[in-house]
């Protein structure tokens, strides 16, 4: 195999790792935001919930920023085409996300109940909307998105905003929401006590069951859906534009990779196992274990989508031949090698000091301590 | 084909969101180091007052930091949403420093900020100090990588155009990060952040000294700030000069616009202190000149000379003519990859590819470009002179004013006279907006002066935007303006409130009263 092709595959895997970081770490904080008003019935309870993730949300959010930066660096055509194509959706995502730092930082700076209520709603929206949008975006990849390129690879999107809100995309959005609510609920269980703990526990079970159902329905749906097949093109490890390949559509083609390599069925199985065992662990009050099982569920779900789509990254529904793949959307060999080097050094470092930060802040968040502490959110 | 209104709206949106983001960034850059310095004094001397000082300024730091983070999200995505062609054309190079910024800097900064705020009782003193230093390191490394990315737009080093992939690609990572522009720009910009923080801390402290509140905290903070500030301001001006020198060589068109230099003149060239440039007539009205000064300033010698707009425009016209065959060759290569004749034609003219793109705005089929269209494209190669000329003068004048202010502040502080000079304390409060304005002016010089390019000499702005409709652009612009206006009102309110309440303010209480009552209480206290 060409060195270039190897690094294209490495970056496809790294993209999965970064998406996983985003889904697990940002998803858990957004889950807490989504369920904030349910697990916290009064101001003190809500502050407890916010202070559980208080020391970490900022660092966690960088997974989102890094995800954007890494797609830009490693798959510039994806960054350019997807972000401009999903324009209105991206704006909704962005606008809801930029309320989050302010929600955390400003909410408890004023004593007014109306003020705090407003920011609690902001945190709810900025937890709910982005998770649905993330999932829906992945869902749209399966259906293809209407875009095409001109001679110099200028992309034009020809679809509408509402076209992105189709039933399959909404299903994927709800799956992503369910998983984030599960992670948010077990995070609250990790840090809270008493009634808040019980509310979160109840919610985690509902979310896990919802995730199992949605993931299974999604699987059957994909089974009957037309998938994309790369019939010819310059292939892996060859510098190219998306104008040089041919692509056909075939029913059930998204499952072709699984049929070719049956071992890959373990990936979706991992997803189901994570969800079901996660629910059992939460029921058994083993919330830390449940958190790790939730992360496993995310691994299975993201892995399933990646395996099904490979080598496609962003199929075009209007001009399928111009679909973006790992081979035609990646950066040059030199850039991929340099960036892989940086990722190899810094991703482990990030995981190490993030773990240290969680270790330093370990333990339950006490209501009276939050009220007394002037640094608390 | 791009709708030129969409391009202009995209430019407006980028300018507004970047200028807005850049209101918060300099303060973060400088405050993080000042916090580290304050905490160092606390850890080494063990005096409680320095812990209080660190925590108080830390609180203000965070109010600012939150909005910096929030608006930074916008920037990370705006390239993809609004500048789609730019992103795919240079993502191979430009994306790398952005991703490295996340990996190396922003993760560190954001993770450590959490511990800095919540870790006071959980970390040993030395550990907490290390965390604060890591926040400062992270935020400054972040600036480094963002400015490496920006410098690529100003002076594209370490890259080439690959006709097989129809985009620019990295040829040398070292050339990219060690470009002279990147180095000078990083130091100039980050130190400008230190100046901003110093003026902010000195100004707020002066306000306390005027009100005779928290005098001990204010006196010590003021001293640290002016010491930090005088060194930083001297550094900003020195590095600004270096940056002007580097930029002048890489972008003679920007330099000509900064100096309002319409005609190439013989050395020694006079400097336009004040002038009213007219783009139409290509001359300055009411110029007040200082003889010899321009040669000294921009070439550091009396014999040096730099090209004026007249010469730059005729150079651009010949480069446009030379770039046309390059664009035609690319069009052939797009349909027939590997066509040897087209490839040879491309390589013979690739140096001027970007200039070929300039005329494509007027002649989509570049082979049919008329002499008039070529002349228009060559005119386009010159940025709008008046805004560049004036923002440059504003930046320099404000910089010199800050230097004078800090020199005075140091003298008064060393003689222990500051608190008796009430006029000076009042001036210190009024100085707070000055560095912010200077930073914004600096951004305008750099980015308006770079026009008509997004990547200088390679990619024109008109091609770089996404192919959206005007309606989409208006929608997003209105959204950003409304959100950002609300945010700045909230931020200013919280900042002023936190300052009024001072280091002892217990600003977190149970929500028993209304916002209105609270506001009245805040005013009564102040």
Per-residue pLDDT reduced to its tens digit, A67-92: 999 999 999 999 999 999 888 888 98
Contact across the interface for A152 and B74, Cβ inside 8 Å: no
CA angle, residues A352, B71, A124, in degrees to nearest 5: 75
Give contacts of A79 with chain B, Cβ < 8 Å. 79-80, 87-88, 91, 95
DSSP designation for B282: T
Q: What is the pLDDT of residue B515?
A: 44
Name the packing angle between helices A99-106 and A57-74 (round to 10°).
160
DSSP designation for A316: B
* Chain B interface includes A157 (CB < 8 A): yes
Q: Is residue B412 pLDDT above 60, yes or no?
A: yes
- pLDDT average, residue stretch B443-462: 94
Contact across the interface for A83 and B118, Cβ inside 8 Å: no
| Per-residue confidence band for A8, with pLDDT thresholds at 50, 70 and 90 | very high
**Per-residue b or e along A118-149, where b marks 16 or more CB atoms closer than 10 Å to that residue's CB:** ebbebbbbbbbbbbbbbbbbbbbbbbbbbbbb
- Cα dihedral sign for A115, A118, A122, A127? positive
Do B233 and B399 form a contact (C-beta atoms < 8 A)?
yes
* Residue of A152, A333, A348, A368 to mutate when probing chain B, most B C-beta within 10 A: A152
d(CA B27, CA B221): 16
B287 vs B111: which has the higher pLDDT:
B111
Which has the minimum average pLDDT: A156-160, A251-255, B61-65, B402-406? Answer: A156-160
Q: Which of B201, B200, B111, B120 is nearest to A374 (CA)?
A: B120
B290 - beta bridge partners? B271
| Overall residue count recorded for chain A in this entry | 377
d(CA A207, CA A178): 5
d(CA B431, CA B201): 11
Give contacts of A57 with chain B, Cβ < 8 Å. 114
Q: What is the pLDDT of residue B429?
A: 94
Alpha-carbon separation of residue B373 from A93, B253, B378 (angstroms): 42, 20, 9
- pLDDT average, residue stretch A333-357: 94
pLDDT digits (tens, 9 = 90+) for B484-509: 999 999 999 999 999 998 888 644 33
Q: Which of A215, A238, A62, A70 is nearest to B80 (CA)?
A: A70
pLDDT digits (tens, 9 = 90+) for B151-165: 999 999 999 999 989
* Chain B interface includes A101 (CB < 8 A): yes
Q: Nearest by CB to A154, which of B55, B69, B85?
A: B85
Q: How far is B108 from chain A (nearest CA, A)?
A: 7
Contact across the interface for A347 and B110, Cβ inside 8 Å: no
Contact across the interface for B67 and A69, Cβ inside 8 Å: no
Give contacts of B171 with chain A, Cβ < 8 Å. 334
- pLDDT average, residue stretch B295-319: 88
Contact across the interface for A157 and B467, Cβ inside 8 Å: yes
Those residues with Cβ within 8 angstroms of residue A30's Cβ, 6 or more apart along the chain or in another chain: A126, A127, A128, A130, A131, A180, A184
Alpha-carbon separation of residue B325 from B116, B319, B409 (angstroms): 58, 11, 61
Q: What is the pLDDT of residue B505?
A: 67
* Residue of B99, B329, B523 to mutate when probing chain A, most A C-beta within 10 A: B99
Contact across the interface for B69 and A347, Cβ inside 8 Å: no
* Chain B interface includes A347 (CB < 8 A): yes
Q: Which two tokens stand for residue B196?
A: 């901003």
- H runs (alpha helix) in B161-308: 173-177, 180-211, 215-250, 252-259, 293-299
pLDDT digits (tens, 9 = 90+) for A238-274: 888 888 899 999 988 999 999 999 999 999 999 999 9
Q: What is the pLDDT of residue A1?
A: 65
CA B5 from chain centre, in angstroms, equals 25
CA atoms within 13 A on the CB side of A67: 20
Contact across the interface for B515 and A115, Cβ inside 8 Å: yes
Residue appearing with tokens 């058994």: A284
Q: Which two tokens stand for residue B18?
A: 């970047």
| Burial (CB count <10 Å: 0-12, 13-18, 19+), residue A248 | middle
DSSP three-state, residue B157: coil
Q: How far is A301 from chain B (nearest CA, A)?
A: 25
Q: Which of A46, A304, A255 is nearest to B510 (CA)?
A: A46
Q: How far is A92 from chain B (nearest CA, A)?
A: 10
d(CA A194, CA A41): 13
- pLDDT average, residue stretch A178-201: 94
Q: Which two tokens stand for residue A175?
A: 């799956």
- What mean pLDDT, rounded, does chain A reach? 92
Containing A8, the helix (H) or strand (E) segment is helix A3-21
Residue appearing with tokens 């302010």: A102
Residue appearing with tokens 């290509």: B282
| Per-residue confidence band for B299, with pLDDT thresholds at 50, 70 and 90 | confident
Those residues with Cβ within 8 angstroms of residue A344's Cβ, 6 or more apart along the chain or in another chain: none
Which has the minimum average pLDDT: A35-39, B12-16, B444-448, B504-508? Answer: B504-508
* Chain B interface includes A66 (CB < 8 A): yes
Q: How far is A62 from chain B (nearest CA, A)?
A: 6
Domain residue spans of chain A: 3-372
Q: Which two tokens stand for residue A80?
A: 């350019």
- H runs (alpha helix) in B415-469: 422-430, 433-448, 461-464
| Per-residue confidence band for B520, with pLDDT thresholds at 50, 70 and 90 | very low
Q: CB pairs below 8 Å between A and B: how many?
A: 285
Q: Is residue B521 pLDDT above 70, yes or no?
A: no
Give contacts of B103 with chain A, Cβ < 8 Å. 66, 342-343, 346-347, 350
| Chain A residues 219-278 with a CB less than 8 Å from chain B | 239-241, 243-244
d(CA B5, CA A222): 41
Q: What is the pLDDT of residue B525?
A: 40
- What mean pLDDT, rounded, does chain B reach? 89
Torsion angle of alpha carbons A81, A82, A84, A86, nearest 10°?
150
* Whole-structure pTM value: 0.90
């Amino acid at each position: 195999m060409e060195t270039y092709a190897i690094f294209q595959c490495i970056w496809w895997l790294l993209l999965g790792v970064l998406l996983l970081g985003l889904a697990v770490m940002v998803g858990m904080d957004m889950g807490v935001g989504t369920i904030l008003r349910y697990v916290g019935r009064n101001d003190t309870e809500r502050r407890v919930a916010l202070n559980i993730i208080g020391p970490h949300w900022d660092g966690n959010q960088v997974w989102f920023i890094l995800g954007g930066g890494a797609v830009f660096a490693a798959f510039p055509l994806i960054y350019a085409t997807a972000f401009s194509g999903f324009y209105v959706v991206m704006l909704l995502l962005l606008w809801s996300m930029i309320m989050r730092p302010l929600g955390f930082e400003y909410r408890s700076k004023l004593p007014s109940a109306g003020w705090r209520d407003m920011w609690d709603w902001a945190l709810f929206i900025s937890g709910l909307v982005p998770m649905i949008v993330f999932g829906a975006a992945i869902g749209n990849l399966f259906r293809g998105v209407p875009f095409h390129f001109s001679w110099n690879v200028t992309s034009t999107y020809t679809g509408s905003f509402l076209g992105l809100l189709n039933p399959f995309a909404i299903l994927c959005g709800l799956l992503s929401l369910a998983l984030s609510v599960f992670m948010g609920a077990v995070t609250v269980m990790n840090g809270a006590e008493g009634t808040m703990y019980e509310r979160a526990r109840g919610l985690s079970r509902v979310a896990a069951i919802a995730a199992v159902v949605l993931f299974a329905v999604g699987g059957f749906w994909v089974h009957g859906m037309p998938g994309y097949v790369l019939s010819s093109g310059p292939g892996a490890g060859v510098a190219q534009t998306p104008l040089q390949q041919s692509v056909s559509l075939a029913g059930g083609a998204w499952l072709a990779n699984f049929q070719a390599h049956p071992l890959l069925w373990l990936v979706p199985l991992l997803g189901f196992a994570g969800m079901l065992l996660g629910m059992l662990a939460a029921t058994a009050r083993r919330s830390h274990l449940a958190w790790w099982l939730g992360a496993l569920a995310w691994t299975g779900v993201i892995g399933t989508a990646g395996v099904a789509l490979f080598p496609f990254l962003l199929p075009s529904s209007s001009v399928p031949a111009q679909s973006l793949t790992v081979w035609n959307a990646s950066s040059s060999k030199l850039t991929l090698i340099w960036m892989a080097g940086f990722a190899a050094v810094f991703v482990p470092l990030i995981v190490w000091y993030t773990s240290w930060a969680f270790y330093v802040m370990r333990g339950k968040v006490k209501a009276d301590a939050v009220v007394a502490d002037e640094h608390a959110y | 084909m791009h709708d030129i209104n969409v391009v202009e709206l995209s430019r407006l949106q980028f300018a507004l969101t970047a200028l807005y983001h850049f209101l918060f960034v300099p303060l973060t850059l400088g405050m993080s180091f000042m916090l580290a310095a304050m905490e160092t004094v606390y850890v080494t001397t063990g005096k409680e007052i320095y812990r209080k000082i660190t925590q108080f300024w830390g609180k203000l730091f965070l109010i600012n930091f939150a909005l910096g983070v929030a608006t930074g999200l916008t920037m990370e995505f705006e390239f993809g949403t609004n500048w789609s062609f730019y992103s795919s054309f240079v993502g191979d190079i430009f994306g790398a420093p952005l991703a490295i910024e996340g990996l190396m800097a922003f993760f560190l900064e954001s993770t450590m900020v959490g511990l800095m705020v919540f870790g006071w009782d959980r970390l040993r003193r030395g550990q907490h100090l290390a965390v604060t230093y890591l926040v400062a390191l992270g935020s400054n490394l972040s600036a480094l990588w963002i400015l490496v990315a920006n410098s690529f737009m100003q002076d594209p080093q370490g890259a080439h155009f690959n006709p097989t992939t129809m985009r620019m690609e990295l040829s040398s990572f070292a050339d990219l990060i060690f470009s002279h522009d990147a180095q000078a720009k990083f130091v100039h910009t980050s130190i400008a952040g230190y100046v901003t923080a110093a003026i902010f801390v000195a100004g707020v402290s002066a306000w306390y000294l005027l009100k005779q509140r928290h005098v001990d905290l204010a006196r010590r903070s003021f001293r640290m700030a002016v010491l930090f500030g005088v060194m930083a301001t001297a550094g900003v001006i020195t590095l600004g000069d270096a940056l002007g020198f580097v930029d002048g060589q890489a972008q003679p068109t920007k330099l000509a616009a900064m100096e309002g230099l319409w005609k190439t003149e013989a050395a020694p060239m006079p400097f336009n202190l004040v002038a009213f440039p007219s783009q139409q007539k290509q001359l300055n009205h009411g110029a007040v000149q200082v003889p010899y000064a321009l040669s000294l300033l921009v070439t550091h010698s009396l014999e040096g000379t730099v090209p004026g707009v007249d010469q730059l425009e005729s150079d651009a016209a010949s480069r446009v003519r030379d770039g046309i065959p390059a664009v035609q060759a690319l069009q052939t290569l797009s349909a027939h990859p590997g066509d040897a004749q087209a490839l040879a034609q491309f390589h013979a003219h690739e140096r001027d590819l970007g200039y070929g793109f300039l005329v494509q705005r007027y002649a989509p089929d570049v082979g049919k470009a008329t002499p008039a269209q070529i002349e228009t494209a060559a005119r386009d190669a010159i940025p709008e002179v008046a805004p560049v000329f004036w923002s440059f003068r504003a930046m320099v004048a404000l910089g010199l004013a800050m230097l004078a202010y800090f020199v005075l502040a140091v003298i008064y502080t060393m003689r222990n006279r500051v608190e008796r000079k009430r006029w000076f304390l009042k001036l210190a409060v009024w100085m707070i907006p000055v560095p912010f304005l200077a930073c914004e002016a600096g951004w305008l010089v750099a980015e308006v002066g770079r026009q008509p390019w997004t990547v200088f000499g390679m990619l024109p702005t008109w091609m770089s935007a996404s192919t959206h409709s005007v309606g989409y652009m208006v929608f997003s612009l209105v959204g950003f303006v409304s959100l950002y206006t609300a945010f700045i009102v909230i931020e200013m309110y919280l900042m002023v409130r936190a300052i009024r309440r001072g280091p002892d303010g217990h600003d977190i209480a149970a929500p028993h009263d209304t916002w209105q009552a609270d506001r009245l209480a805040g005013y009564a206290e102040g």
